[in-house]
A = this chain, B = another copy of it.
Amino acid sequence: MQVRPAQVSDDDAIWAIIGPTIRAGETYALPRDMSRAAALSYWSSPAHEVFVAEEDGKVLGTYYMRANQQGGGSHVANCGYMTAAQASGRGVARAMCAHSLAHAQARGFRAMQFNFVVSSNERAISLWKSCGFDIVGRLAEAFEHPRLGLVDAVVMYRML
């Protein structure tokens, strides 16, 4: 599996991954009815650096990196990761996270923060923990899950 910078020609593949995740509305705080254009514009916004994970020429996942804050907070990175449903369980998210940690260090970031990990997304929380992240905050009932109703979100953080 190779993780490389995304190109405009990856837009269809990226939408094929982020579209179903957004529509499901279970893990990201984004409008479920977001259009393809709005979703791609958000994911590939000017402040984001976007990567894709590819195997045998097929894009299996994508992530973005940005500075989480400006000014005095600009040394902390933030990322969002999404994996194609059909590639779940194959280590795509772990590979992207490892890539992002190395890339963030290379760019001079000193920490990485995930602002809003939905607490019912236990698989993600467990994965980020295994990648060195700690839960450093809990936001009570901050997420309206389409099936579970109001659930907590957690803030995860690690130094680089």
Contacts and interface: CB of A to CB of B under 8 A. Distances in A.
B30 A75 contact: no
Given A29-B70, A31-B70, A73-B116, A138 B136 contact: yes
Interface string A61-85: 0000000011111111000000000
A87 interface: no
Contact of A71 (B32, B72, B74, B113): B32
A157 interface: yes
A13 interface: no
One complex includes copies of this chain to the number of 2
A110 B141 contact: yes
Interface of A: 22, 25, 28-32, 34, 69-76, 110-111, 113, 115-116, 118, 136-146, 153, 155, 157, 159
18 contacts: A22-B71, A25-B71, A29-B69, A29-B73, A32-B71, A34-B71, A69-B116, A72-B118, A72-B143, A72-B145, A72-B146, A73-B142, A73-B144, A110-B141, A115-B115, A137-B155, A140-B157, A142-B157
